[in-house]
Structure 1
Amino acid sequence: MNNNQYCNAEFLLQKIQESDAVLVGAASGLSAADGKHFWYQDDNEFKRVFKSFRNKYGVRSAFDAFYYPYKTTNERWATIATLVHHLYESKAGQVYKDLKILLQDKPYHIMTTNQDFLFFQDFPADKISIIQGDWRYFQRKDYGQKDKIWDNRQMVDKMYASMEGGKTAIPDELIPRDPEDGTELMPWVRHPGFLEKSKYNEQYRMIRQFLDHWSGKKILFIELGVGRMTPMFIQEPFWQLTYQLPFAYYISINPKDALLPEALEDKGRAIHEGIAEVFRDAVKLKEEENQSKD
């Protein structure tokens, strides 16, 4: 590792060790650091998973496929089923395991705008707040009419199975609907019509409870991979809380978009390095420390 990278990893580890508790805010840059580039890029993973849609519609990323103006609802649901099925089959990589090692000795909570539910493979559900929804759930299209979301695993499996042979549409009878009145469903992820009721409010209740308990202590805010499109969900609240809480400290890790406001110069650091590399080196340092104690 280069000297700057070593210093950043050492600094991160030191701040975690000095803290009483850690609140992590993770965005799309964390998924990218873990190698999940198919959301925005025409990489090999996208070409493999979305081969039929890529060939037929010319889409070049998962988001491109999701927002494509399909002529039929059946095609749109085929795309959603392909994406969600792939997410169910995906494995969280080393960056998640390294974060778990770094946090394992501290009380912590994770709030994330990522909807890919990878955190749930390595962290307890009661320590994760999904503030932008989650692809494992569906909600009604007329979101104001019923405060309910549905676990979608069985629905997705049936839709995906119906597309065997490279089909890009599902049959009418598999379009997800509310069993009570037949209203069509939609993914419970942030876009127009996103349901912000019981499940959504529960995510913020967990965050507030964590903050209420630790706000008078040394709380460390670690921001991971927040870009310039949606700073209002993690970055700006972290800045405000760090400024307001007397013993708080803020660290942002992002190779391109790590920012530190002037007001937080004495209470924070922006690390312009790759998340995976900083985590890897911090874990190595922690392991070396533990070995020296034995």
Structure 2
Amino acid sequence: MITMKNKNYEEQVKSLMAHIQEADAIVVGAASGMSAAAGYRHYYERDKDFVDNLGDFEKKYGYHNSFDGFYYRYRTSEERWAFIAKNLCMILDAETGQPYKDLFEILKGKNYYILTTNQDTQFNRVFPEEKISAIQGDWRYFQCSRRCHDELYDSVETLHKLKDVIDSDLKVPSDMIPHCPKCGAEMEPWVRSWVFLEGKKYREEHSKLNAFLKKNMHKKILFLELGVGRMTPMFIQEPFWNMTYAWPKAFYITINPKDAIVPEELKQKGLAIHEDIAKVLADARTIAAGGTE
């Protein structure tokens, strides 16, 4: 049981649950703020996970979060792959965040689909693969850095092997760096970058999403946006706004402690909840179970 002292907040969470329960279809759009709400803030902050796992890299290279580490210009491939292995093993081995579990319970029994720019596979721990479109890639895969062919390769086992052989200079052995089996170029994590492979898998992710949208566009559809910031609004936020505006039965809800925005044109078809995503989803789950007072 929870007690909500803020009446406006309580009404917002109840409104969220009412829209979820009344919707014929729900499209969730989630970005980095969702994982930040789960406690994984190392992408842009110097949090405990970053210090514990990448503190040695910070001392050597001077960056203070894993995002900067990923785009750092390393002198050698051996150094770069040491960081990639350590960073991605930290991400892939992380516990499933509570907000993801709460969202799963909230959406149980509903007709839903999930669109995400996150690459950390948190959604895949809880939700069925067929209900998720990861449109910015997935750390579980490698691609050829030259994009010489359209195929992805499992990365997880290789990453853990590399992590285990990082030496005191924060390098991996040259002969263990993964290379393309076709052209011999180095492999690359399959995530958004200058060499991101927009091939069969990428098209499949969009096709799954578009099929759901086409099937449900004339129904009472809820667009639920979680943790989308202002860095890449074109992938989730702006399409959600456009579809909400264009589709008569659509409604839009955004949950974000900092960047919850409802355009003037959607004032009658939207709700912005300026609160911590983890708290909102936890409280919404409790409301769904009949536990407020």
| TM-score, normalised relative to structure 1 | 0.95
Q: Structure 2 unaligned runs (5+)? A: none
**Correspondence for 1:150 among 135, 149, 153:** 153
The one-letter amino acid of 1:50's match is L
1:225-260: CA deviation from partner (whole Å, max 9, x where unpaired): 111110000000001111111111100111111111
1:195-247: CA deviation from partner (whole Å, max 9, x where unpaired): 11101000010101101111111010001111111000000000111111111
**Corresponding residue number in structure 1 for 2:272:** 270
| SS of structure 1 residue aligned to 2:119 | coil
In 2, distance between residues paired with 1:224 and 1:67? 25
In 1, distance between residues paired with 2:234 and 2:155? 29
**Correspondence for 1:172 among 161, 171, 174:** 174
Q: Structure 1 unaligned runs (5+)? A: none
| SS of structure 1 residue aligned to 2:290 | helix
In 1, distance between residues paired with 2:157 and 2:175? 14
Report 1:1-294 matches (<5 A): 1=4, 2-143=6-147, 145-163=148-166, 166-288=168-290
In 1, distance between residues paired with 2:68 and 2:268? 41
| SS of structure 1 residue aligned to 2:43 | coil
CA contact (8 A) 2:35 2:97 kept: no
| SS of structure 1 residue aligned to 2:203 | helix
Which deviates more from structure 2 when the two are superposed, residues 19-28 or residues 151-160? 151-160
Structure 1 moving runs of 4+ over 2 Å: none
Deviation at 1:181, TM superposition (A): 3.1
Deviation at 1:100, TM superposition (A): 0.6
In 1, distance between residues paired with 2:262 and 2:286? 26
How much identity, in percent, do the aligned residues show?
A: 48
Deviation at 1:88, TM superposition (A): 2.0
| SS of structure 2 residue aligned to 1:155 | helix
In 1, distance between residues paired with 2:187 and 2:283? 44
CA contact (8 A) 1:226 1:235 kept: yes
Deviation at 1:64, TM superposition (A): 1.7
Deviation at 1:167, TM superposition (A): 4.3
| SS of structure 1 residue aligned to 2:228 | coil
Which deviates more from structure 2 when the two are superposed, residues 173-182 or residues 32-41? 173-182
Matched pairs, number: 288
1:2-45: CA deviation from partner (whole Å, max 9, x where unpaired): 22221111010000011001000000111111110111111111
Deviation at 1:115, TM superposition (A): 0.7
The one-letter amino acid of 1:173's match is D
In 1, distance between residues paired with 2:102 and 2:14? 14
In 2, distance between residues paired with 1:11 and 1:120? 27
In 2, distance between residues paired with 1:31 and 1:73? 29
1:249-289: CA deviation from partner (whole Å, max 9, x where unpaired): 10011111111111111111111111111111111111117
In 2, distance between residues paired with 1:9 and 1:244? 25
| TM-score, normalised relative to structure 2 | 0.95
CA contact (8 A) 1:52 1:167 kept: no
| SS of structure 2 residue aligned to 1:50 | helix
CA contact (8 A) 1:100 1:122 kept: yes
CA contact (8 A) 2:140 2:156 kept: yes
Deviation at 1:48, TM superposition (A): 0.5
Q: CA RMSD in A?
A: 1.3
CA contact (8 A) 2:26 2:224 kept: yes
